[in-house]
Every structure is written in structure tokens, then in C-alpha cells.
Structure 1
Amino acid sequence: MEDLKEKIMDIKNLHSKVEDAEILKGLNLKINKGEIHVIMGPNGAGKSTLANVLMGHPKHEITDGEIIFNDKNINDLSVDKRAKEGLFLSFQYPEEIPGVTVENFLRTSKSAITDEKQGIFAFRKVLKEKMELLEMDETYAGRYLNQGFSGGEKKKNEILQMTILEPKLAILDETDSGLDIDAIRIVSKGVKAYSNDENAILVITHYNKILDYLEPDYVHVLVDGKIVKTGGAELADKIEQKGYEEFKKDLS
């Protein structure tokens, strides 16, 4: 069945560095439409680096390999062009932007991605529906982006952006970090509601609590810049019980 699915991203032998430090060291990963993938690994393994490289962060240099997204090599595309192609990155530490309301930011972003002007009232209706799904009070739409937001509110706002922008592949970098159980449940509900047969989701996490809600198709273990093991949700349970030591041994 897997071979019948349409591939959305194919990462081949990806190497990257920041300044003189090599971080990714030959990473391979295939993601098909309709799938939820989870990447776990110890601190310093390269998880957030992978997210940044996929999104085109200028400080991260690709030194070998390629990123194929929707049958197109995107190695040299700028961040904005990758976003237009359908990539989205939810930040681990969302920035506060004073003077720009959540609604204006999202409406402007949607217009930039689609090249279509978003009518104020039609957009506001959609925004209200998405906020209700994430159990966000509609007054948040008029607040400045992330300013004065709690950690949980910032993470919900990232998922709100995802549901509004409707990317083909959403990369969620530790969206669950710092969240209590109720917030994890709500964020997971938003992610699952967004997931369908035409998109895919890549979740980067330290914890397996969010997996109780997401039910991923694949869990990958990333150690020292490479994916060293792939399995199902049971792999996350094994990590919780025994840690990453045995996966580190596989490299030696």
C-alpha cells in the first residue's frame, strides 16, 4: 500500500553545517501524502536543524544531498518561495511582534502565500471557525502577535497559522514543549483536524505524550545527524522506558 501513496517529500543523503560545524550527516527520509511522521532524538542530534534546513534558514548550509518537495529540488529556494510551494514551519520559540494583530498577520500571510487578496469579512469568518477549534477566545484575533501570550497560547497560535495557511507539509518543531496536558490535547486536536490525504505533517518532539493523541504513522530516531531507526508508536514507548543509549551504540 505504501508504494501506492503519492510522495510529498524525499530527503536524500542530506548533509548540512552551521559555520564550521557539521550537523546533518547523511539524513534520508521519505514522506507521503496523508502521513504523520514524528522525529525524536537526544539533545544536539539535529532535530531543529533539520526543520531549519527544510525551511531554508540562511545560516544552515546544505553541503550535500537534496530535498525533493512535490517532485522539485528546493535546495536553492528562499524561505518565502518554499512557503509558496507549500512548506510551513511552526517555531519552537515563536517571536512577539508588537503592533501587528494576529488577524492582520494571518490575512497578510494568506494573501502572500496564495497571491489572492483576502476579503476582511470572509477571512474573519474562517478565522473564527479555526479559533473555536483550538478553543481560543476570538478576542485573540485583535491582540498583537504573541505579545503577552503564555507559552501555550503561542503554540496554539502557531497551529492556528497552520490551519489558515493550509500548507502541503507542516513541520512542527517541538510544538508540545512547555504545554500542560490540556494544551497538548487541544493542539493535537488542531493538528489531527488539519491532517488529510492531501497533506503531511512532520512533528519534532522530545516527549511521547503528544503521540497519545496524534497516532503517527512513523516514528524516527535521529542521532548524530542521521535517522538510525524507524518504527511505529511503540518506538516512542521504548525510548521513554530506555532512553537513546542503544541507538547511540548503533553508530559506534
Structure 2
Amino acid sequence: MTKFEIRDLRADVLIGADERQEILKGVDLTINSGETHAIMGPNGSGKSTLAYAVAGHPKYEITGGDVLIDGESVLEMTVDERARAGLFLAMQYPVEVPGVSMSNFLRSAVTAVRGEAPKLRTFSKELQGSMSGLNIGSEFAARGVNEGFSGGEKKRHEILQLELLKPKLAILDETDSGLDVDALKVVSEGINRAKANSDVGIMLITHYTRILNYVTPDFVHVFAGGRVAESGGPELADVLEADGYERFAKAGASQ
């Protein structure tokens, strides 16, 4: 059982050389192995900042609080050390890495996380199996990472990484954005498969409830004003779908 804890986390975004803005204003959240927590909230509430600050993006500076995996703080770790400790971030806007084939990238990542290089034949079988489950053609293995991929293909590649790396905690930053219904179903099935195969804890950041029709959350948290404003079960997502975020956005603006 893995416990991921965010304790009173505060963070600034660096706007310029001498300018910063506080975005996270005391975030508290605990995710255990096998749990799915949906983070929902209005634009500008700090959801993506939370994801990147936890992952170690240099644009965001932690000013208070802590982030722990099984009681060990990750804040002094480098980005790659956080990944080896079990953190995974599926980015909202995956970047292209021309000249690095997808298969080489994935095998290098798996080697770094697992601590030893998988045998080529074994890894090839594992890779092709996961690609098939995500409707990714075998020819993509030789292409540059995300190079020329459509938005949906990039998002499926993020879930392919999730399946292969088997992290302890996966932060999925608006993985559903830009997906049509068919791609959403494929991506959701990949998330559910990864969870079933590794008991990963999931922080699922989203604006909409449509992905929650396929990936059932154990908890839903409303994020507003740089903190968790309200928490509940899956039924809270239905309330948000019906009523929107207006009251939370107003409360956040007044803080």
C-alpha cells in the first residue's frame, strides 16, 4: 500500500526574472494505492500548477508545505528522482522529441525506473501488447516521440507510458482534452487497465464529467482559489455538471 500525501502545499509561478504570483494556497490531499481522485475546477484555479509543482517543473517554486510518498518528501528530489520514486505526470500538452524513436524513449524510461534494462524480446512483446490495447499502430514505435502525432495520438502515448512505467502515483492533467468519443473510450480503458495491473493511485485532473463515465472516481475534489474547496464522492461530479463552478469561482476570487 502506497500513501501519497500533499500537506499544506503552497507554490508561486515565476512570471519573470523578478516577478512571481502565488497560485497554490495550502493544498491538502491524500491518495492511497488503487484510489482514483478526480480534481475538478474552473479555469485558472491552479489545477495544472498543482500537477507541475508536484512533478518538479522549474517554473513553479514551492514556498511551503510538503509532498510525500510513503512518508518520504520528494521536494528535494530532482525530476528524474521523483519519477524513480514512483511519480508520473501525463501532460496536458505533450511535447515532441524529434530524432528519438518512441521505442528507444520508452525502453530508456523503463530501464531508468525499473533499475535494469529489460531484455529486448521481452520489452518488444510488452510494448506491442500495450500499443495494441491503445489502438496505436506498430509503425509508431519507430517514429520520433510525438513527432507529427495528432492530439489524440499524443494522449494515447501518455497512457502507453503509464502502462509500461507502472508508477505508484499517476497525475493525469486533462488527459481527456481534445479527444473524440472513440479516443476517450480507448484512453479510459488504458487508464483502467493500468490501475488494474499495478494498483496505481490516480489524480485525474479534468474540467468535465465525460471521462468520469468511463473512469469511475472514488473521490471528487473541487479545486478553486489554489486549494481544495470541497470534497465528496462521485455524486459531487454530477452536482458540478448540473450547477457549474460559479459559486466556487466566486469564493476563490474573494480569497
Give the TM-score of the pair, scaled to structure 2.
0.93
Could you tell me which residue of structure 2 aligns to residue 161 of structure 1?
A: 161
Q: Who is 1:128 aligned against?
A: 128
Partner SS, residue 207 of structure 2: coil
SS for the counterpart of 1:214 is coil
Q: Does 1:17 align with 2:7?
A: no
Kindly report which structure 2 residues correspond to 1:2-151, keeping only aligned pairs within 5 A, or say none. 6-19=1-14, 20-151=20-151
Deviation at 1:168, TM superposition (A): 0.7
Q: Which position in structure 2 is the counterpart of 1:202?
A: 203
Q: The residue matched to 1:24 in structure 2 has which SS?
A: strand
Q: Is the 8 A contact 1:7 1:30 kept in 2?
A: no
**Which residue identity is paired with 2:181?**
I
**How far, CA to CA, are the matches of 2:240 and 2:2 in structure 1?**
28
Query: Secondary structure at 2:229's aligned position in 1?
Result: strand
Percent identity, please.
Answer: 49
1:25-56 alpha-carbon deviations (Å, 9 max, x no partner): 01100111110111011111000000001111
Shift of 1:248: 3.4
Report the 3-state secondary structure (helix = DSSP H, G, I; strand = E; otherwise coil) of the residue aligned with 2:116. Answer: coil
Aligned to 1:232: 233
Report the secondary structure of 1:42's partner residue: coil
Shift of 1:198: 3.5
Runs of 4+ off more than 4 Å? 249-252
* 1:3 aligned residue: none
1:184 aligns with 184
Give the secondary-structure state (helix, strand or coil) at the position aligned to 1:167: coil
Q: CA deviation at 1:7?
A: 5.0
2:193 maps to amino acid: A
Deviations 1:132-181 (A, max 9, x none): 11121111111111111110000000000111111111110010000001
The amino acid that maps onto 1:183 is: A
SS of the counterpart of 2:221?
strand
| SS at structure 1 position matched to 2:9 | strand
TM-score (norm 1): 0.94
Aligned length: 247
Q: Give the gaps of 5 or more residues in structure 2.
A: 15-19
Deviations 1:114-140 (A, max 9, x none): 220122211100001101111211111
The CA distance in 2 between the partners of 1:176 and 1:248, in whole Å, is 22
> In the alignment, is the contact (CA less than 8 A) between 2:38 and 2:203 conserved in 1?
yes
For residues 135 and 207 of structure 2, the distance between their equivalents in structure 1, rounded to whole angstroms, comes to 25
> Structure 1 unaligned runs (5+)?
1-5
2:225–2:251: 8 Å Cα contact kept in structure 1?
A: no
- CA deviation after TM superposition for structure 1 residue 218, in Å: 0.6
Task: Tell me which amino acid in the other structure corresponds to 1:200.
Answer: G
> 1:66 touches 1:75 (CA, 8 Å); kept in 2?
yes
User: What's the secondary structure of 2:65's corresponding residue?
Assistant: strand
